[in-house]
Amino acid sequence: MDYRRQYIKDLFQLSPGEKVSAYGWVKTRRDSKGISFVQLSDGSCFKDLQIVVEEGAVDAESLKHVTTGACVRFDGEIVESPAAGQAVELKAAGLEIYGAADPMTYPLQKKGATMEFLREIAHLRVRGNTFGAVFRVRNQLAQAVHQFFDERGFHYIHTPIITASDAEGAGAMFQVTTSMGHDEKGYNITTKDPAEDFFGKPSFLTVSGQLEAETLALGLTNVYTFGPTFRAENSSTSRHLAEFWMIEPEMAFCSLEGDMNLAEEFLRYTIQHALDKCSGDLEFFNQRIEPELLKTLTLVAESGFERMTYTEAIKVLENSGENFEYPVAWGTDLQSEHERWLTEVKVGRPVILTDYPKEIKAFYMRLNEDGKTVRAMDVLAPRIGEIIGGSQREERLDVLEEKIKAQGLPAEELWWYLDLRRFGSVPHAGFGLGFERLVMYVTGMKNIRDVIPYYRVPGNADF
């Protein structure tokens, strides 16, 4: 066996008469008088290959094992298909069973299984229509990310996953340690002095690669990271994961305007890429998951985003006449109900909010002339809320030192970050996009747990 065999997506391109082998997993099998119809998928495209098995064409004993979930190979001839929705099908002449799947116990049997149930069989759900489509779209979006930045001269860099710096304050952190006493089952018995721990001090899984990305941008000019990110917040919402993937570009010689322009261009590019490359999958999502999906994605790919300052947004929200659960007031963080109202009801497409109060944003954001707001931006998308968070960074040493002090952060641990402002400082900016939120937006999937193969949330790291 060789990986260079044809995928099912390629078999659809062949002309009648060609002799081929089709490899995959059985979606369904239907029998009628003297003939069986098998739907076969190898995950290469949304459409299943239909295989027609006439009586006596393959070994009858083997055919019994062609049931939902079985892994098989059919050999045969490409023929014109009389059925609607497909030009060709495979007329079977041979069959090999690689792995049967007992219909009495195979868990992925019925159509219409709930998303909750499918999460419990995350190791098998990729074989169904929905999750095959999700992971194909996820792949194309990831490819689009690299393509987008490569075309613009950005360098792809890898920032550390383990870090002793807790400076960003983006969220609660997971500690990484080898110094816990544990019993034979791995349960903690005692903890020791952090100085004796593996890294010599408390160390954590990163919440963002931004600060390190800044150091690389101040030398390579334009860089980006695309890696796993960890947050230990105890929030079980449909938009939060404890382990998610983040894309973080960082640009030297760049202001907040440049940052917003890049964010907008980036989202439109990746969405257009998915529209071009995953039309079969997106049509399925449009039919089964989110009725307006194709219309809204096309609109977003073609039109600009609305831009508004935080102060303007607060005014609009105060005058909205809506009865929000959380009251709106200048100086408080926007809740997801506010964000969704702005983008879904008020504007009807993505909105970029800028210039937030300095108290509710991270220390590294550049202080505005007013002394009250910072050069922050959040991109809010309908259905999702915040999809991107970014800012122009504070490049002035004295202002940055002042802000670090005001927020009570350990300046001595940030010596290397401050060095960037001591030696060759420059206006620079960047943002972070939660990759799973982009996948949710493009597929219309409602829960972030359903756009990553294995989801990590409070209480779940099983598989």
Sole binder of ligand 4AD in the list 65, 127, 136, 231 (CB under 6 A): 231
Task: Tell which positions 382-401 bind ligand 4AD, by CB under 6 A.
Answer: 386-391
Q: Which of 78, 218, 241, 260 binds ligand 4AD (CB under 6 A)?
A: 241
What element of type H or E holds 136? helix 129-151
Q: Which does 208 bind (CB under 5 to 8 A by kind): Mg ion, ligand 4AD, none?
A: ligand 4AD
- Measured CA to CA, the distance from residue 302 to residue 309 in angstroms comes to 23
Name the minimum Å distance from CB 331 to ligand 4AD. Answer: 19
DSSP state of 358: G
180 close to 190: Cβ distance less than 8 angstroms: yes
Closest separation in Å from C-beta 245 to ligand 4AD: 9
Selected from 430, 440, 445, 451, the binder of ligand 4AD by CB under 6 A is: 430
By beta-carbon proximity to Mg ion, the closer residue of 69 and 389 is 389
Q: Is 248 in the site for ligand 4AD (CB under 6 A)?
A: yes
d(CA 255, CA 428): 6
Backbone angles phi, psi at 190, to 5 degrees: -140, 160
Q: Does 246 participate in binding ligand 4AD (rule CB under 6 A)?
A: yes
DSSP β-ladder status, 243-252 and 222-230: antiparallel
Number of residues lying near ligand 4AD (CB under 6 A): 22
Alpha carbon distance 241, 231 (integer Å): 8
The residue (of 75 and 306) whose beta carbon lies closer to ligand 4AD is 306
CB of 76 or CB of 434, closer to ligand 4AD: 434
Contact between 149 and ligand 4AD by CB under 6 A: the answer reads: no
- The answer to whether the beta carbons of residues 456 and 463 sit under 8 Å apart is no
Please choose, out of 2-10, 174-182, 329-337, 381-389, the segment that lies near ligand 4AD by the rule CB under 6 A.
Answer: 381-389
12 Cβ partners below 8 Å, 6+ apart?
Answer: 45, 47, 49, 86, 87, 88
Shortest distance, CB of residue 35 to ligand 4AD, whole angstroms?
49
Distance CA 254, CA 431 (A): 12
Picked from Mg ion, ligand 4AD, none, the partner binding residue 244 (CB below 5 to 8 A depending on kind) is ligand 4AD
Question: 61 burial class (0-12, 13-18, 19+ CB within 10 angstroms)?
Answer: exposed
Q: Which stretch binds ligand 4AD (CB under 6 A): 12-20, 100-108, 191-199, 429-437?
A: 429-437
Q: How far is the CB of 229 from ligand 4AD (least distance, A)?
A: 7
Closer residue to ligand 4AD (CB): 8 or 380? 380
Number of DSSP helices (H) and strands (E) in the chain, helices first: 13, 18
Which among 282-290, 338-346, 349-357, 426-434 is the span making contact with ligand 4AD, rule CB under 6 A?
Answer: 426-434
CA distance 243 to 230: 5
Residue of this chain nearest to Mg ion (CB atom): 389
Does the footprint of ligand 4AD cover residue 404 (CB under 6 A)? no
Q: Does 434 bind ligand 4AD (CB under 6 A)?
A: yes
Nearest to 44 by CA among 283, 282, 288, 281: 281
CB 205 within 8 A of CB 230: yes
**Shortest approach of ligand 4AD to residue 299 CB, angstroms?**
21
Single out the segment in contact with ligand 4AD by CB under 6 A; choices: 183-191, 302-310, 433-441, 451-459: 433-441
Residues 68 and 109: their CA atoms lie apart, in Å, by 7
Contact between residue 352 and residue 264 where contact means Cβ atoms under 8 Å apart:
yes
Residue 148 interface partner, choices ligand 4AD, Mg ion, none, CB cut-off 5-8 Å depending on type: none
437 is a site residue for ligand 4AD (CB under 6 A): yes
Q: Residue 286 or residue 392: which is nearer to Mg ion going by CB? A: 392
For every residue of 144-180, DSSP letters joined together read: HHHHHHHHTTPEE----SEES---S-SS---EE-S-E
Give the number of other Cβ atoms within 10 Å of residue 289's Cβ.
17
Residue 66 contact, options ligand 4AD, Mg ion, none, Cβ 5-8 Å cut-off depending on partner type: none
The binding site for Mg ion (CB under 5 A) comprises 389
Task: Fill in the DSSP letter of residue 407.
Answer: T
Closest CA to 351 of 301, 316, 385: 385
From the list Mg ion, ligand 4AD, none, pick the one residue 400 interacts with, judged by a Cβ distance below 5 to 8 Å according to partner type: none
Cβ at position 391, least distance to ligand 4AD in Å: 6
**Could you tell me if 145 and 159 are in contact, meaning their C-beta atoms sit under 8 angstroms apart?**
no
Both tokens assigned to 229: 């990110």
Kindly write out the interface string for residues 60-79 of this chain, putting x where it contacts ligand 4AD by CB under 6 A and - elsewhere: --------------------
What does 390 bind: Mg ion, ligand 4AD, none (CB cut-off 5 to 8 Å by kind)? ligand 4AD
Whose Cβ is closer to Mg ion: residue 389's or residue 444's?
A: 389
List interacting residues with ligand 4AD (CB under 6 A): 170, 208, 210, 231, 240-241, 244, 246, 248, 386-391, 430-434, 436-437
